[in-house]
A = this chain, B = another copy of it.
């Protein structure tokens, strides 16, 4: 199912089309497409080019690694994400490698990398769904994540499924309209809370 963004002007197609479905086809993702996702992460920008992202990935054919990531998700997410053929968990360095000082941009830069990946995925026919709903302590323990990295985001990736693939109770979520704040609520000029005059094309 498609739920393109409702925008005042057209967006680049994979940006317009990207959304976060919960219905996935269990069909595996081709190795070359997986590599393209990793490369999109790799080539994102970051503060001082520190590349603070460390990404765990597992495919459903590798039951042990896949189960490891799936078990870190909260139950409500396991209920649908377990059909996605690829799972990821992204972590962010809390320090600059260059000098050991705190890197307040770590999570931000992981966000840059993951959205680069999400658009790359969309461009090759895949869909993505990022999740904050996972057990941070369990993730840290299971994946042996050191103290100076912070587990940030879980991601389900795969080909789109259909609403009929979902249990009855989850179908409404999939078909309900998407919503966003208006441009005037988030794009300011001059002072916080002052809608930019540039939003009126």
Contact = CB atoms under 8 A, between A and B. Distances in A.
A35 B5 CA distance: 14
A56 B188 contact: yes
Copies in the complex: 2
Contact size range, A = 35 or more
A116 B43 contact: no
Interface of A: 5, 7-12, 14-15, 18-20, 31-32, 34-36, 38-45, 47-49, 51, 53-59, 62, 64-65, 68, 91-92, 104-105, 107-116, 118-120, 123-124, 130, 132, 143-146, 149, 152-153, 179-181, 183, 186-193, 196, 198-199, 201
18 contacts: A11-B39, A11-B43, A12-B124, A42-B181, A44-B115, A48-B132, A55-B188, A56-B192, A57-B188, A111-B113, A112-B114, A112-B115, A113-B115, A115-B115, A115-B116, A115-B119, A143-B188, A146-B192
- Which 5 A-B pairs rank lowest in CB-CB distance, beginning with the nearest? A111-B111, A12-B123, A115-B115, A5-B43, A107-B108
